[in-house]
Amino acid sequence: MKTLLQFKNVSKHYDKKTVALSDVSFSVNEGELVSIIGPSGAGKSTLLRCINRLIDATSGEIIFEDKDVLQIKNKSKMRALRTKIGMIFQNYNLVERLSVFENVLHGRLGYKSALVGALGFYSEEEKQQAIKILQSLGLDEQIYKRCDQLSGGQKQRVGIARALIQEPRVLLADEPIASLDPSSSKVIMDQLKKICSTLGITVLVNLHQLDVALNYSDRVIGISKGRVVYDGDPASLTDDHIQQIYGSDREALNLVVREPKEVAQKI
Amino acid sequence: MKINFLMKKRLYFLAIFLVLVVISIGSMSMTQFSIAKCFASIPKAIQWGFGNFYPAGDSFARLPEILLKLQETLLISIAAASVAAIFALFFALMGSRITKVNNFLATLSRFIANVFRNIDVSIWALVLLFSFGQSSLTGYFALFVASFGFLTRAFMETIDEVGSDTAEALRATGANYFSIVFQAIIPMSVSQLISWVLFMIETNIRAATLVGILTGSGIGFLFDLYYKKMDYHASSLVVLSLVVSILLIEQISNYVRRAML
Ligand SMILES: Nc1ncnc2c1ncn2[C@@H]1O[C@H](COP(=O)(O)OP(=O)(O)O)[C@@H](O)[C@H]1O
Ligand SMILES: [Mg+2]
C-alpha cells in the first residue's frame, strides 16, 4: 500500500510553556481510516490542523503526496494543497443563515478566483454534483432549507458534503460526533466508513469515544500530552496502552469498555 | 482557606463602596450641591412644567417649520449612520482578528476606532465648529465621526464573535480572502450589523438635538431659538415631536429586526 501522509518528528509549541505536539512521527496509507484518540488537551486538534496548515507546526516535516507541506510559502500553492484536504468539525462550522445548497457549494471556493468566489458563481456541473452528493447522504429533502433549521446530525452531513465536493484525497474529521446523540453518531461514522471504503478517500478522525474508535478504524493512534504513545491495530490495544493514553483521568477511563464491539453495536 | 478567600472578597467590595461614598460626599460639599434642596425643587419644577411647557394655540402655527427641521435632523442622523457604517465595515474587517490582513493594519484600525469612539459626539461638534462653522454640515460630521467610532468597534466584536468557525471551515477548503469575507463573514453577521446601524440611527436622532444646539442647525437649533425667546409652548412642541419621532423610529427598527430573523 502507498503512503499518503507522513509525520516526521513534528513539534508544535504555542508558546514557551504550551507544547501541543512533541516529536510526533507516524504515517498513513492511502485508503486507511485512522482514529486519533486521547484525552482533551492531548493535541488532537492541533495535529489535524497542522496537515492543512490552519496551524503552522514549529518543526519537523509533514509529507503529503511526497511533498513537505511545511515548505509551502506561496499562497496559491497553499490553496491548492487545501483543496485536496477536506475537513469536518465538531460544531459543523456551517454558514447557518445560508441554505444547505450554498453551504455545500462553498466546498468549491478553493478552485475559484477572488471575484468569482466572492460573488458565489458556480458552474452547472458543480450544482449537479452538489445535488448528487446531498442525495447520497440522504439530504434530498433539505437541499433548499436554511442550515439553522437542521438537526445536528443533518448539519454534520452537510459538513461532509461540503468536504466531499472538494474531491479531496484525505478527509480530516475533528471530533465529528462529539455534539451528537448516539443514533446520529452512528449515521455519521457509517458515512465516514463508506467514504473511505467506496470512494477510497483516506480518513483521519479525532475521537473522544474509545469504543467508536475501536469499532470503526483500521488503525488507532493514541496520543497523550502531545506524544504518540500507541500506533497500531485496534485489536492489539491493551489496558496498559489505554492507561498510558488516558493516564489516571477517571472520567475518560469510565468510557473504556471491555467488549468494544458489543457496546458499539448498541449505539 | 475558602472562608478567608470569601472574606477577602467582601472586604475588597466594602473598601470600594466606602471610597465611592467619600468621593460623592466630598464632591457634593465642594460644589455646594444639596440633596435636600434638589428634592425640594422638584414639585416646583413640575408645577412650572404643567403651567408653561405644553403646546398651545398659536404654537401649532409653527408646526410646518418644526416638521421641516425635524425631517432635516432625521435625514442627517440616518445619513451619518449609514455612511459611517460603510467605512466602519472596512475598518472592522481590517481590525478583526479573524479577517485582518496584517498586524500593522489591525492595530492601526483598532487604534483609530478607539480614539473616535472615546470622544463624545458633543466634543466632536465643538471641535468641528472651528473648521466648518455653524452649519448643518458640522452637525453631520460630528454625528458621522461618532457613529464611525462606535460602529467600527461594534462590527469588529460581531465579526469576532460569529465569524471564526465558518471562516476556519472556508479557509480549510482553500477559499481566498474575498470568498471568506463575502460567503461566510458577511452572511453570518449581516443581521447583527444592520441591527447595530438601526441602533446607531436611534442614538443619532437623540444626539442630534444636542448637536443641533451646539452647531446651530436642525431641530436642536429651533428648540434653542424658541426657548431663548421664552416661547415655551413652541419649544414643548419641538420636544413632543422629537419624542413621537423617536418612538416611531424605534417601532420601525424593531419591525425590521424581527423581519430579518
Ligand atoms: N491557539 C492556541 N493557543 C495556545 N494554546 C493552544 C491553542 N490551541 C490549543 N492550545 C493548547 O494546546 C494543547 C493541545 O490542544 P488541542 O490540540 O486543542 O487538544 P485536543 O484537540 O486534543 O483537545 C492544549 O494544552 C491547549 O491548551
Ligand atoms: Mg480538540
Spell out the domain ranges in chain A: 3-84+168-266, 95-167
Q: What ligand is nearest to the CA atom of residue A44? A: 1
Task: Evaluate whether the domain defined by A3-84+168-266 bears CATH number 1.10.760.10.
Answer: no
Q: Is pLDDT above 70 for A260? A: no
Q: How high does pLDDT run on average in chain B? A: 89
Of A98-107, A195-204, A209-218, A252-261, minimum mean pLDDT range = A252-261
In chain B the domains, ranked by start, together with CATH numbers, are 2-52 (no CATH), 61-260 (1.10.3720.10)
**Ligand 1 pocket check for A14: Cβ under 6 Å:** yes
Question: In this structure, what are the phi and psi dihedrals at residue A26, rounded to the nearest 5 degrees?
Answer: -170, 170
Ligand 1 touching residue A24 (CB < 6 A): no
Check A87 against B187: CB less than 8 A apart.
Answer: no
ipTM (interface pTM):
0.89
User: Is the CB of A94 less than 8 angstroms away from the CB of B188?
Assistant: no
- DSSP assignment of A145-172 equals SBGGGS-HHHHHHHHHHHHHTT--SEEE
**Tens of pLDDT along B20-67?**
999 998 988 888 878 888 888 888 888 888 877 888 777 788 888 888
- Reported as a single tens digit per residue, the pLDDT across B183-197 is 999 999 999 999 999
What's the confidence (pLDDT) of residue A262? 47
Q: Nearest residue CA, atom 8 of ligand 1?
A: A46
Has residue A242 got a pLDDT over 70?
Answer: yes
Mean pLDDT of A115-140: 94
Considering only the beta carbons, identify the residue of A111, A120, A159 that sits closest to B183. Answer: A120
All 3 cell numbers of residue A170? 484525505
C-alpha A58/C-alpha A75 separation (Å) is 19
Q: What is the pLDDT of residue B136?
A: 82
- The whole-number pLDDT of residue B1 equals 59
- CB within 8 Å of chain A, chain B residues 190-249: 190-191
Q: Name the one residue in this structure whose C-alpha cell is 436554511.
A: A146
Confidence of residue A164 (pLDDT cuts 50, 70, 90): very high
The partner residue sitting opposite A106, judged by closest CB among B165, B177, B183, is B183
Long-range contacts of B216-224 (CB under 8 A, 24+ apart): B216/B134, B216/B135, B217/B72, B217/B134, B217/B135, B217/B136, B217/B138, B217/B139, B218/B69, B218/B72, B218/B73, B218/B76, B218/B136, B218/B139, B219/B66, B219/B69, B219/B70, B219/B72, B219/B73, B220/B73, B221/B69, B222/B65, B222/B66, B222/B69
On the question of pLDDT at A253 being above 60, the answer is no
Residue A104: the pLDDT is: 97
Q: What confidence tier does A113 reach under pLDDT thresholds 50, 70, 90?
A: very high
The reply to whether ligand 1 has any atom less than 6 angstroms from the CB of A38 is: yes
Angle at A50 between CA A44 and CA A54, to 5 degrees: 110
Mean pLDDT for A189-218 is 93
- 3-class state of residue B183 by DSSP: helix
If pLDDT is split at 50, 70 and 90, which confidence band does A250 have? very low
Q: Residue A91 pLDDT more than 70? A: yes
- Whole-prediction pTM value? 0.84
Q: What is the mean pLDDT of chain A?
A: 90
For residue A259, the model assigns a pLDDT of: 45
